[in-house]
């Protein structure tokens, strides 16, 4: 094994750190090239007819009848005779079934109906303590909703860009500048249209606004804008109300999406505040350890104080739902069970009934920058995979039910 070059002792701290960053970036790029060659693009696996039927909400036998009758998109047939569907083909089948009308039409294609006052759901996933499973929750929720037939936009608002990495981006290499949400909310003349920043993903029905370090610019320029306002500088309403900028940007693309999932930074800065002001709903991820719960207490105090200031300045703060989600949960760990019970006794039904279990399946899938929805069951010990996917599906189905409730639909 080749020796890893070490930064010279004579290097200043900033240069030593920069050298480490360059070495790490180069190795990550080499790893990506092995997994996904430069000419290749990350793609989503195909689904068996049984999986496709379950996603659509019909029986496998009915799906076979449609295929034999030549109705809707025709699946790929493998050497063993198994029928395989891409997510795009599954969504085309949804359209085909919904166009037939009937009481189940909205079940097949659950997109929101603006004429029924079903507004775009903007779900902010937040906590300012790292390791609470925030990015894992955001990515899997966005993918679950896309596979359920919704039009979804995932927004990576974290400068560390972990969710972008899951979707196949290496921020320092794949983004050239002004490619994040900062491009649509910045204060100067370089501001871009929101739709010009959005990128398609390999998940049909799921788009992405990636993140990288340039998002930090919003944390640096906003205090200057506030200082200019305090000193009487002439500014537009849009420039004065920093907390309304994310919402204003999202409003420009509201007709194109049913749900927006925002992965917030692990800090309570201007980006997180702006995301909370844009949100129609909030998920707070909680790792059931006493130190994490104590940290969450301070996070809630700070959030309440800052949002009160925003409200007094004219910001609207009306959430359809706010829920606490227990993550990285070990059911056989007695102290974790106690803390989960403690949270439920305090907050009642504001704690989601389901929890995301701690599982090696998440980290194993992450080795290839994939989520559990992207890998096949055969890639894991089946009991491990089933346990993890069952907890995920329960959590995301519960959140989907809350979305339907906000739209006044039967759950």
Q: Is the distance from CB of 265 to CB of 276 less than 8 angstroms?
A: no
More confident of the two residues 223 and 124? 124
Alpha helix stretches (DSSP H) within 201-333: 216-230, 237-240, 245-251, 270-278, 290-312
Residue 58 has pLDDT above 50, yes or no: yes
The tens digit of pLDDT for each residue in 14-42 reads 466 567 667 666 776 676 666 655 445 67
User: With pLDDT > 70 as the criterion, what percentage of the chain qualifies?
Assistant: 87
SS3 101: coil
Closest CA to 149 of 99, 199, 95: 95
Would you state the pLDDT for residue 378?
Answer: 79
In this structure, the strands spanning 199-200 and 206-209 are antiparallel
More confident of the two residues 316 and 183? 183
The CATH fold assigned to 114-407 is Rossmann fold (3.40.50)
The tens digit of pLDDT for each residue in 351-374 reads 999 999 998 888 888 777 889 999
Residue 125 has pLDDT above 90, yes or no: yes
Provide the mean pLDDT of the chain: 85
CA torsion sign for 163, 168, 173, 177 is negative
**Binning pLDDT at 50, 70 and 90, where does residue 239 land?**
low
Closest CA to 279 of 164, 138, 147: 138
**Binning pLDDT at 50, 70 and 90, where does residue 303 land?**
confident
Average pLDDT over residues 138-142: 96
| Low-confidence winner among 250-259, 326-335, 399-408 (lowest mean pLDDT) | 326-335
Average pLDDT over residues 129-144: 89
Closest CA to 209 of 255, 160, 157, 280: 157
Q: Is the distance from CB of 176 to CB of 182 less than 8 angstroms?
A: no
Where are the domains positioned within the chain? Answer: 47-108, 114-407
The tens digit of pLDDT for each residue in 382-404 reads 888 899 999 999 999 999 999 99
Would you state the pLDDT for residue 31?
Answer: 66
Inter-helix orientation angle 270-278/290-312, to 10°: 70
Q: What is the DSSP string of 174-219?
A: H--SS-STHHHH-SSTT---HHHH-EE-SSTTEEEE---GGGHHHH
Alpha helix stretches (DSSP H) within 59-113: 60-68, 87-99, 105-108
Residue 257 has pLDDT above 80, yes or no: yes
Both ends of the chain: CA-CA distance in Å? 57
Which strand (E) or helix (H) includes residue 394?
helix 382-406
The matching CATH number, chosen from 3.30.56.10, 3.90.400.10, 1.10.1660.10, 3.30.465.10, for 47-108 is: 1.10.1660.10
Q: Is the distance from CB of 272 to CB of 128 less than 8 angstroms?
A: yes
Inter-helix orientation angle 334-347/290-312, to 10°: 30
Compute and round to an integer the Cα radius of gyration of the chain: 23
């Amino acid at each position: 094994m080749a020796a890893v070059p070490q930064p010279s002792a004579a290097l200043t701290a900033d240069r030593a750190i920069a050298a480490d960053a360059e070495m790490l970036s180069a190795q990550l790029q080499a790893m990506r090239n092995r997994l996904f060659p430069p000419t290749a693009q990350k793609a989503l696996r195909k689904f068996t007819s049984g999986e496709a039927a379950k996603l659509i909400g019909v029986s496998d036998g009915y799906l076979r009848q449609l295929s034999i009758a030549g109705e809707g998109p025709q699946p790929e047939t493998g050497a063993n005779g198994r029928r395989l569907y891409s997510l795009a083909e599954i969504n085309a089948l949804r359209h085909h079934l919904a166009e037939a009308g009937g009481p189940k039409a909205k079940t097949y294609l659950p997109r929101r109906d603006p004429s029924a006052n079903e507004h775009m759901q903007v779900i902010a996933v937040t906590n300012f303590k790292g390791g609470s499973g925030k990015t894992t929750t955001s990515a899997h929720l966005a993918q679950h909703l896309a596979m359920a037939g919704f039009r979804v936009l995932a927004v990576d608002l974290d400068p560390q860009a972990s969710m972008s990495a899951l979707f196949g981006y290496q921020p320092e290499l794949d983004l050239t500048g002004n490619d994040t949400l900062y491009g649509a909310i910045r204060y100067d003349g370089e501001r871009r249209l929101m739709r010009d920043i959005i990128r398609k993903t390999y998940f049909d029905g799921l788009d992405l606004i990636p993140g990288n370090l340039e998002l930090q610019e919003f944390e640096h320029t906003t205090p200057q804008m506030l200082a200019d306002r305090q000193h009487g500088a002439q500014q537009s309403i849009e420039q004065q109300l920093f907390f309304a900028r994310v919402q204003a940007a999202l409003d420009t693309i509201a007709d194109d999406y049913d749900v927006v999932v925002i992965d917030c930074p692990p800090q309570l800065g201007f980006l997180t505040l702006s995301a909370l002001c844009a949100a129609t709903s909030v998920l707070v991820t909680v790792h059931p350890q006493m130190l994490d719960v104590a940290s969450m207490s301070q996070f809630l105090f700070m959030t309440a104080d800052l949002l009160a200031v925003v409200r007094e300045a004219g910001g609207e703060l009306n959430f359809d739902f706010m829920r606490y989600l227990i993550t990285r949960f070990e059911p056989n760990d007695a102290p974790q069970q106690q803390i989960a019970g403690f949270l439920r006794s305090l907050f009642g039904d504001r704690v989601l009934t389901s929890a995301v279990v701690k599982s090696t399946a998440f980290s194993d899938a992450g080795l290839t920058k994939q989520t559990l929805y992207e890998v096949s069951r055969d890639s894991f010990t089946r009991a491990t995979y089933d346990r993890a996917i069952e907890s995920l599906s329960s959590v995301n189905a519960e959140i989907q039910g809350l979305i339907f409730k906000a739209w006044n639909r039967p759950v």
